[in-house]
A and B are shown apart, each in its own frame.
Chain A
Amino acid sequence: MDFLTSILAISIVAGTSLVYATIGEIYTERSGVLNLGVEGMMIMGAVSAFAAAYHTDSAWAGVVAAALVGGLMALTHAFLTITMRAEQVVTGLAITIAGTGLASFLGEKLGPDGGPLVGLIGPRFPKIAIPLLSDIPVIGALFNQDILVYLVYILVIVATFYLYKTRPGLSLRSVGESPQTSDAMGVSVFGTRYLYTVVGGILAGIGGAHLSLSYTPGWTENLTGGRGWIVIALVIFATWDPLRAVVGALLFGGINAIQFRLQASGTTIPASLLNMLPYILTVVVLVLVTWREGLSKRLGAPAALGLPYNREERT
């Protein structure tokens, strides 16, 4: 019982940043834009959140800073791929490369007196136990979390409802499936894509903030460790559905939890081999999901994903 509770508790904390960023990317991709800059946005979110929280002594200021930075980076991606029609894959990669470099640069410079951020202790989000609910065995772990985790519960519900049950959600889905038709029906393809790319960036930034303010409080270089890329895989795993994203994120959180437990138990397995687990799991899961989808011939990807839209050019 105790073991299960602790695995679940760690899974949730470890999975939270993934849920934020994955839901963001699901929205972005649903509009037809592939954003491979998530890793860059998450790491920039993490560094700016920690820096802002440290200097203002407010964890909330950190979240706001991360959201702003993530949103701005996504705006860059949107401008380049939607307005300037740049290749989406390469643009996203460029944003990740630039973001990783910039984060490492800022990490050296945003500390007190232009010094490094590494090793500093800043404000963090405390755990808040919800009375009664947190006393339930095993799933009580769900209700003894920090505020960003509680917010992600709400986000999942709102994101699912919005996508499937509201008019703007319908417009979003139709833009990703058939921009021509949406355009003809009076939905602004450019506007929709801009909006949800920025929304995706904001959520990726907040996901990064959760890492540096709560999961592993503080800043170290390479803090995200490829989580942004796991997010891209999770979107495929989730077949572009916010609810299924939670399952995937918990799965990866669980792997992190097991890693922790094994390391804490003084295993003889070297850390570098243990650390491979999430990456191997990503590949395995991706292969299984793709294989199963191929069998059923049901492709969950939005039809216009990755294709720039241009009114004058029809293909």
Chain B
Amino acid sequence: MVGREVIFHIDKKEVSEVREVVLDLRSVNADNDKGLPALKDVSFQIRGGEILGIAGVAGNGQTELAEVITGLRPVIEGQVIFLGQDLTNRPPLTFIRKGVAHVPGDRLGVGLAGNLPVSDNLIMKAFRKRPISNGPFLSRGSIGSFSKKLIKAFDVMTPSIETPARNLSGGNQQKAILGREITSGDRAGGDYAPLLVAVYPSRGLDVGAIEAVRTAVLEQRQNGAAILLISEDLEELMTISDRIAVLHGGEVMGVVEPADIDIEELGLMMAGERRQ
């Protein structure tokens, strides 16, 4: 598979300086698809260079949380503040323009259009910008060079950029999404998205791909991005998060630092026990 021992040795450097608050959620309430409350008074902040892990049993509001932060789901009450700007209930495009990257949990359902070629999938966030588009027109040449650059930089294994995205392995699909997201956004300068929302990014992948995903996430942290990492893999959360918020029934049970807590305690919080 990977041809070498993988022990997920994570090279997590300290980010010493205190950076600015990138994402500030203030008492956010939102409903799920069935119209039932999914998020109740959720508040937290993430600073640049920080990974906030979200722990919780699947279906406790994680997907809805990610959607609220990316403009995909309406906020009923509360505010979503991004870099000091109130973006509550702005359309998804505003979040994309501000540089919110989103690796969705459902790769083929949301993250990719499976029947379209890999190149069309790689430009999903960048197609509005030069040089890929030139006024109302798309430039075939730029799409090709942009796609090849991403494929190389993120080590996506694909027969060609014309291959339908569906035919890629799960790991390569995820690397393609990750590459596209990290390099997305219209922000001025800097080569990272100021906020990365990653939902179950390593679910269902082989070890090689998991390592690539985690490395990319940590690299973003190093670059100063704020990261919201939603995961069901507690080990993953414990190793790479700076802080962990636990969601249960759409409420934050508490925010903890990995050094202060063990997995059992985390499990209790996931079952609904509060901790301040």
The docked-state distance in angstroms from the alpha carbon of A139 to that of B244 is 69
User: Closest residue of chain A to B106, judged by CB?
Assistant: A315
Q: How far is the CB of B41 from chain A (nearest CB, A)?
A: 22
User: Closest residue of chain A to B32, judged by CB?
Assistant: A297
Chain B residues 104 to 135 lying within 8 A of chain A, measured CB to CB, are 108-109
Q: How far is the CB of A119 from chain B (nearest CB, A)?
A: 52
Q: Is the interface of A mostly helix, strand, loop or mixed?
A: loop
* Contact of A297 with B109 in the complex, beta carbons under 8 Å: no
The docked-state distance in angstroms from the alpha carbon of A297 to that of B34 is 6
The docked-state distance in angstroms from the alpha carbon of A297 to that of B36 is 10
* Contact of B35 with A297 in the complex, beta carbons under 8 Å: yes
Contacts of B34 in A (CB 8 A): 297
User: Closest residue of chain A to B35, judged by CB?
Assistant: A297
The docked-state distance in angstroms from the alpha carbon of A42 to that of B114 is 38
Q: How far is the CB of A303 from chain B (nearest CB, A)?
A: 12
Encode contact with B along A278-308: 1 for CB under 8 Å, 0 otherwise.
Answer: 0000000000000000001100000000000
* Contact of B35 with A315 in the complex, beta carbons under 8 Å: no
Contacts of B109 in A (CB 8 A): 315
The docked-state distance in angstroms from the alpha carbon of A315 to that of B109 is 7
Chain B residues 72 to 117 lying within 8 A of chain A, measured CB to CB, are 108-109
Contacts of B35 in A (CB 8 A): 296-297
Contacts of A315 in B (CB 8 A): 108-109
User: Closest residue of chain B to A296, judged by CB?
Assistant: B35
The docked-state distance in angstroms from the alpha carbon of A296 to that of B109 is 25
Encode contact with A along B20-47: 1 for CB under 8 Å, 0 otherwise.
Answer: 0000000000000011000000000000
A-B contact count (CB 8 A): 5
User: Closest residue of chain B to A297, judged by CB?
Assistant: B35
Q: How far is the CB of A247 from chain B (nearest CB, A)?
A: 26
Contacts of B108 in A (CB 8 A): 315
Q: How far is the CB of A72 from chain B (nearest CB, A)?
A: 33
The docked-state distance in angstroms from the alpha carbon of A297 to that of B35 is 6
Chain A residues 227 to 241 lying within 8 A of chain B, measured CB to CB, are none
The docked-state distance in angstroms from the alpha carbon of A296 to that of B35 is 8
The docked-state distance in angstroms from the alpha carbon of A297 to that of B74 is 15
Q: How far is the CB of B238 from chain A (nearest CB, A)?
A: 31
Q: How far is the CB of B104 from chain A (nearest CB, A)?
A: 15
User: Closest residue of chain A to B31, judged by CB?
Assistant: A297
Q: How far is the CB of B34 from chain A (nearest CB, A)?
A: 6
Contacts of A297 in B (CB 8 A): 34-35
Q: How far is the CB of A177 from chain B (nearest CB, A)?
A: 14
The docked-state distance in angstroms from the alpha carbon of A296 to that of B36 is 11
Q: How far is the CB of A312 from chain B (nearest CB, A)?
A: 13
The docked-state distance in angstroms from the alpha carbon of A253 to that of B239 is 69
User: Closest residue of chain A to B114, judged by CB?
Assistant: A315
Q: How far is the CB of B113 from chain A (nearest CB, A)?
A: 13
Contacts of A296 in B (CB 8 A): 35
Chain B residues 33 to 76 lying within 8 A of chain A, measured CB to CB, are 34-35
The docked-state distance in angstroms from the alpha carbon of A67 to that of B91 is 52
The docked-state distance in angstroms from the alpha carbon of A296 to that of B34 is 9
User: Closest residue of chain B to A313, judged by CB?
Assistant: B166
The docked-state distance in angstroms from the alpha carbon of A67 to that of B134 is 59
User: Closest residue of chain B to A314, judged by CB?
Assistant: B108
Q: How far is the CB of B103 from chain A (nearest CB, A)?
A: 19
The docked-state distance in angstroms from the alpha carbon of A315 to that of B34 is 20
The docked-state distance in angstroms from the alpha carbon of A297 to that of B33 is 8
Q: How far is the CB of B206 from chain A (nearest CB, A)?
A: 19
The docked-state distance in angstroms from the alpha carbon of A297 to that of B108 is 25
User: Closest residue of chain A to B108, judged by CB?
Assistant: A315
The docked-state distance in angstroms from the alpha carbon of A260 to that of B52 is 70
Q: How far is the CB of B141 from chain A (nearest CB, A)?
A: 34
Q: How far is the CB of A67 from chain B (nearest CB, A)?
A: 40
The docked-state distance in angstroms from the alpha carbon of A188 to that of B28 is 45
The docked-state distance in angstroms from the alpha carbon of A297 to that of B32 is 11
Q: How far is the CB of A197 from chain B (nearest CB, A)?
A: 26
Chain B residues 141 to 176 lying within 8 A of chain A, measured CB to CB, are none
Q: How far is the CB of A239 from chain B (nearest CB, A)?
A: 16
Q: How far is the CB of A294 from chain B (nearest CB, A)?
A: 10
The docked-state distance in angstroms from the alpha carbon of A119 to that of B143 is 65
The docked-state distance in angstroms from the alpha carbon of A39 to that of B127 is 43
The docked-state distance in angstroms from the alpha carbon of A315 to that of B166 is 11
The docked-state distance in angstroms from the alpha carbon of A300 to that of B108 is 26
Q: How far is the CB of B107 from chain A (nearest CB, A)?
A: 11
Q: How far is the CB of A170 from chain B (nearest CB, A)?
A: 22
What are some 5 contacts across the A-B interface (CB < 8 A)?
Answer: A296-B35, A297-B34, A297-B35, A315-B108, A315-B109
**Nearest 4 CB-CB pairs, A to B?**
A297-B35, A297-B34, A315-B109, A315-B108
Q: Which residues of A contact B (CB under 8 A)?
A: 296-297, 315
